[in-house]
Structure 1
Amino acid sequence: MTVRPGTSTSETSQTDAPGTRQRRPADRRRLIVDAAAKAFSDGGYHAVRLDDIAEAVGISAPALYRHFPNKYALFAETTSALARSLRSALDAVDTDGDDELRALLVAITAASFQNRRKGGLYRWESRYLEPADLAIVRDVVVHQHRRVRAAARRLRPDLGDADANLIAAAMTSVAASPTTHRASLPAREVTTLIPDAALNLLDVDLPGPVQPAAPGVHGLAPAAKREIILTEAINLFASRGFRDVTIEDIAHAADLPASGVYRHFPSKVAILEAAFWRATDRVTSAISDALAASTTPHEAILGMIRRYVQLTCSTTDLISVYETEIGHATPEARAALRNQQRITVEEWATWVSRERENLSITHARFLVHAALNVVTDLSRLQPQPSPERIEALSARILLGGNG
C-alpha cells in the first residue's frame, strides 16, 4: 500500500464521544503526524500503539482512525512528511555560487535540529516501509547526497568520484547528527558549529581507497553455549529484525533445543539487552585502552578514534542492532544504556575540550556526537571504506585545525 498525503476533511463539528460535539482543530492531521513521528522515533515501529498516539494528541482512537486506517498508513505518512520537509529545505538553497555548500549544510543542520525528536524514523525506513513508500524517502536522500557532492566538487574540482562520495556522505552525516542525541545548545550555535565542522571536511587529506579484502578465515567460533546463542541472535536480529526472530530461530541457529536457550536467557528481550551491553562494554574498553596508551589529549583522541572505528567496522551487525532495536529493550535497560552512552560521550568531549582550549565542553559534545555518527554511517556503506579513511574524517571533526 502506498500512502499519499490525505485530502482535507470537513472541519465542521464532529462527534468524538457519545453525546459530545466539539469543533475539530484545523490542524488535527498535522498534530497526529507530529505525535506519531516522535513516538515512532523514540520507540520504534512495532512498540508504538495507535491508542498511545491518540492519547498524546488528546483525541479518541476512532477520531484517529478517521485520518489513518491503520498504523502502517500513519507510519508511512510520518516518514513521507519528514522527507518532504528536508526536500523543501534543500530546494530553498540556490544552486549557484560559492556559498551553496555552506548553505546546504546549514539547511540540513537546521532541519535536523528542528526535527531531532523525529530523526529516529530514518533508522526504521528500510526495514518497515513498503517499496513505493521507501522510494519517496530514498529519493530525497539521494537528492541530498548529489547536491552536497556537486557543491563540494565545485569548490574542489580535483576530487575523484570515490573521495567526493565519501566526503559528501560524511558532511551529510555531520549535518544530520543532531537527530542522534539530546545535548542542549541554542539553535543559532548549532547551525554555526555543525556546518563549520562539516565544511572543514572538504580539504581532509584522505588515504587512498583500497580494494576490499577477499573473504578469508574469520577465526574460530566460541564454544560456550551462551556465547554461541548471543552470536547467532545478533546475526539474526541484524538481518531480520528483532520482532521477526523467534527463540526457536535462535535455538536452531545455535544448534540447540529451545530449552537450551532458556537455560541461559529468560527471554528474547534478555538476549537483546545482553547484546546491547556487549556493544557498550566494548566501547568502554576501547576508550580505556586508548587512554592507557596515550600521554597527551591529542594522542588520546586519535587512539579512541582508531579503536572505535576498528570496533565499528568489524562488528557492524552488533552496532546495527544497537542502533535499530533499542526500542525493544525494557525502559529500565534503555535508561541504563543511555546513561552509559552519556558517560562515554562526556569522556570523549572532555579530552576534545582539553586539546582544543577555545572549545567549550558543550560544543565538544556536539562534535563528539557528529564524529561518532560519521563512523557509524560510513561503516555501513557498501563497499565499506577502509578504517583509515573513516579515521581521517572523524579526526578532523574532533581536532579541527589541530589535526
Structure 2
Amino acid sequence: MSAHPPAPPTTSARTAPRRRPRDRREQILQSAARAFSANGFHAVRLDDIAADVGISAPALYRHFPNKYALFAETTRTLADALADATNAVPADTAHPATELRGLLAALTDAAIENRRSGSLYHWEDAFLKPDDARYVRDIVVAQHRRIRADLQGMRPTLDRDEADLIAAAMTSVVASPATHRTALPTRQIGELITHAALSLATVELPPEGRAPHTAPLTGLAPTSKRELLLAESIRLFAAHGFHDVTIDDIARAADLPASGVYRHFESKAAILQAAFWRASDRVTAMIADALSSSTTPREVVVGLVTRYVDLYLTNNDLISVYVSEIGSVAPRQRTALRNQQRINIEEWAAWVSRDRPDLSAARSRFLVQAALNVAIDLTRLPRKPSADHICALCIRLLTGTDGTSDEGGSDGVEVGE
C-alpha cells in the first residue's frame, strides 16, 4: 500500500461541466427552417430537428413548447431577415432606379443566404395563425410598396395594376435562388438574379383580352371514378391541406362510399402521389409539344412559357398542392419527382442557352428557375393576371427581349457584371 494518498485529479483531468451554447435557439431555428422549407409543416418531426441540432427532444421543448410555436418563430425570423435587408437600403426618391437596384440586390443576397430555407414563403400562409400571418404579411407588403414606388418613379405612366404585377414578379425573381439548389458562385448568382429582376422594370405588358385563360377553369367532372377521385382530392387538398382531408371527405365529394375510394387507391398518400405524377407527365409532354411546333430556339422558349403558364392557370389547385404538399409524398417518390423536374429544367436551360449563346448552362438554369417561380407565384395571386402578362414577364427573363424575334441580347435595364 502506498504511504501517500493519491493526488487529487488536476483541473485539466476533471470532466468539464457541459454548457448550453449561447446560440442554441438560433441553431434550432436554422434547422427548423431547413426542415420546414424542404418537407412542409406536417412532415417535419421535432425529434428529427432535435437530432439534427444534437440535443434531446425535451431540451428542444425548453425553447419551444410545440411544433407550431417553432414554425411561427421560424417564419417570423425569415420575415425579419427580409425587413433587415430592405431597411438597410437608404430611401432615394430622387433616384428611384438606384434605390430599386439596391432593394433587389439586398433581397437577392437574403435569398442566397437562406437558400436552404427561403422557399418556406411559398406556403407559410397555409399554416400560420392570423396574428403570425399578419406579422409576416405586413413586412412583405411594406417591401412590395417600396419596390412599386420606385418602379412608378422610373415609369410615371405605368398604371397601379401593372406596377403591382411587375413588382410582384421582381420579388419572385429575387426569391428564386431559395427554391432550388443549382450551383453557381455566390457573386455570380447575386449579379445574375438582380439584373434579371431589374430587367422587368422596362417590360411593356401587352393589352388585356388576348389571354387564353384568365382564371382556373372549372369544367366538367370526369366520368371515370378514378379520375373523379383524383380531381376531387386535389380540390380538397388545395382548400384544406392534405393532412386535414380524410378519405371520407374525398368519398363524399366524389359521391362514393369510402370503400369505393380504396378500390382505386390504397391510401390518401397514393392519391397525392398519382396526382403529382400526372402533373409531371403533362409537363414532360408539353416540352415535346413545344419542340414539335418550333423551328428556332426562340420559338421553343416562347412555346414552353406559353404552355406552362396555361397549365398553371388551368390547374391552379394542383400547382398549389404540389408546392405546399410535396413533403407529404413518400421520400422515394419525392426524390423521383424531383429528379424528373431537374430533367425538365435541363431541357429548358439547353434551349435558353441556344437562344442566348452568351449564357452558360448554369446561368440559364437560374433564369429558368426564376421564370418558373414567377409563373407559380403570379398564378397563385388572389386576383389572377392574364396569361399574356405572365408570359411577357417570363419571356423577358429568359430571352432578354419582349417579342418573339430570334435576335439575341437584352433590351432590359443594364447593370454591371
Contact 1:162 1:209 in 2 (8 A): no
Matched, 1:138 2:134: no
Matched position secondary structure for 1:103: helix
Identical columns (%): 59
Matched position secondary structure for 2:157: coil
1:210 Cα deviation from its structure 2 partner:
4.8
Matched position secondary structure for 2:367: helix
1:217 Cα deviation from its structure 2 partner:
8.5
Matched, 1:337 2:337: yes
Contact 1:251 1:257 in 2 (8 A): yes
Cα RMSD (Å): 1.9
What CA distance in whole angstroms lies between the structure 1 residues aligned with 2:382 and 2:123? 19
Matched, 1:281 2:277: no
Matched position secondary structure for 1:243: helix
Match of 2:350 in 1: 350
Matched position secondary structure for 2:123: helix
1:289 Cα deviation from its structure 2 partner:
0.5
1:122 Cα deviation from its structure 2 partner:
1.6
1:237 Cα deviation from its structure 2 partner:
0.4
Contact 1:40 1:120 in 2 (8 A): no
Match of 2:305 in 1: 305
Contact 2:229 2:261 in 1 (8 A): yes
Contact 1:45 1:124 in 2 (8 A): no
Unaligned ranges ≥5, structure 2: 1-14, 402-407, 411-417
Matched position secondary structure for 1:256: coil
Match of 1:383 in 2: 383
Match of 2:180 in 1: 181
Match of 2:152 in 1: 153
1:194 Cα deviation from its structure 2 partner:
0.5
1:209 Cα deviation from its structure 2 partner:
3.8
Match of 2:49 in 1: 53
1:218 Cα deviation from its structure 2 partner:
4.5
What amino acid is the match of 2:113?
Q
1:123 Cα deviation from its structure 2 partner:
2.8
Per the alignment, do residues 269 and 160 of structure 1 end up closer, same or farther by CA in structure 2, a change over 3 Å counting? same
Per the alignment, do residues 214 and 282 of structure 1 end up closer, same or farther by CA in structure 2, a change over 3 Å counting? closer
Structure 1 consecutive aligned stretches of length 4 or more whose deviation exceeds 6 Å:
211-217
After superposition, residues 353-364 of structure 1 pair within 5 angstroms as 353-364=353-364
Deviates more, 1:53-62 or 1:338-347: 53-62
Q: Note the alpha carbon deviations across 1:280-330, whole angstroms, 9 max, x for none.
A: 111111111011000100111111111111111111001111111000000
What CA distance in whole angstroms lies between the structure 1 residues aligned with 2:319 and 2:84? 32
Match of 1:100 in 2: 99
Contact 2:182 2:366 in 1 (8 A): yes
After superposition, residues 28-177 of structure 1 pair within 5 angstroms as 28-96=24-92, 97=95, 98-177=97-176
What amino acid is the match of 1:59?
I
What amino acid is the match of 1:365?
R
1:20 Cα deviation from its structure 2 partner:
9.8
Per the alignment, do residues 69 and 218 of structure 1 end up closer, same or farther by CA in structure 2, a change over 3 Å counting? closer
Larger radius of gyration: 2
Contact 1:175 1:195 in 2 (8 A): yes
Contact 1:90 1:108 in 2 (8 A): yes
Per the alignment, do residues 381 and 217 of structure 1 end up closer, same or farther by CA in structure 2, a change over 3 Å counting? closer
What amino acid is the match of 2:274?
A
Normalising by structure 2, we get a TM-score of: 0.89
1:211 Cα deviation from its structure 2 partner:
11
Match of 1:249 in 2: 249
What CA distance in whole angstroms lies between the structure 1 residues aligned with 2:89 and 2:109? 13
Higher relative contact order by CA 8 Å / sep ≥ 6: 1 or 2? 2
What amino acid is the match of 1:300?
V
Contact 1:209 1:385 in 2 (8 A): no
Unaligned ranges ≥5, structure 1: 1-18
